[in-house]
Amino acid sequence: MKLFVYAMREYDELGYFTELCQERGIELGWSPKYATMETADLARGYDAVSVTPRTLDRPLLQRLHDLGVRAISTRSIGIDHIDLAAARELGMGVSHTAYEPNSVADYAIMLMMMCLRRMPQIVDRARVQDYTLRGKLGRDISHMTVGVIGTGRIGGCVVDHLAGFGSRLLAYDLFPKPAVAEKATYVDLDTLLRESDVITLHAPATADNHHMIDARAFGLMKDDAVLVNTARGALIDTDALIDAMEAGKLSGVALDLLEHEDGLYYNNRVGDVIANRQMAILRSFPNVILTPHAAFYTDIDVRQMAETVVEGAYALLNGQDSYLIVK
């Protein structure tokens, strides 16, 4: 088996992939470049490729297929960046990754705390030696109602960890989990939006929930609510978010991802003019925190992602079943 890894990070991923492929007798090829029509030829002769969350549309999948690639293993839990229908038609298997939910869950809680405690204002003003307290008054999450949208592994972990804070917890999911129901109260989405002081998103991106947080949803929220998204950018209508913020809605927003982040995150764009007006507007708001899709980024999770990429690709090419294979 031959595996080619696109967008390989030499400073953390490469060591793990090298070790894992040597253990399994897998030939490893890699490039720091992303998978595009221009870089597709790098995978010529390889059985499987690993990619990061960046669009793999039908033409690119067709090109990879023509070069001999038969399996796609994405280094992400989400798979909405891959044209699955095209992959199936081409007979290309797709697998995703898995890792412990703690890192993303705790990162989301950290962002909640940063918004509630006005951490950007505290840090930015401390840099210029403004140590006054005016404008820095925070709120205690222990006295907040936190609404968790999506209670899979990560959302469920958020509920587990927040239970220790003493917060009142509400949850929304199409498929309620008994274990979550022991610590949070499942309600309909409108109730969660109306009653929550903090709303955190942990749902996958699907056609049905595209822009689930839209102008109507913002209208239901409390004026001083906090919104956190460490799930998928497409869950939020960014234009509606900007309108809400400009209207004085929401006291804080923290986004680890954006709707249109292809070619943006994981690249050094210092000195570049970035053609993303939504991002520019959001960055102008003092109560908005933007982080570069980094909630997953811990040593444990990077190794687990590499392990599951290799496991998923190996299973696809050897006719084995695996929980990582996209059915």
- Tell me the catalytic residues: 232, 261, 293
- What phi and psi values does residue 249 have, to the nearest 5 degrees? -80, 145
Q: What are phi and psi of 219, to 5 degrees?
A: -65, -30
CA atoms within 13 A on the CB side of 107: 26
Cα 39 from Cα 60, distance rounded (Å): 10
- Residue ranges of E strands in the chain: 2-5, 27-30, 48-51, 71-74, 93-95, 145-149, 168-172, 185-186, 198-201, 226-229, 252-255, 288-290
* Alpha-carbon torsion (123, 127, 131, 133), positive or negative: negative
What is the spatial order of strands in the sheet that 226-229 belongs to?
A: 185-186, 168-172, 145-149, 198-201, 226-229, 252-255, 288-290
Burial class (CB in 10 A: 0-12, 13-18, 19+), 54: buried
DSSP 3-state assignment of 94? strand
What would the two tokens of residue 266 be?
A: 């994981």
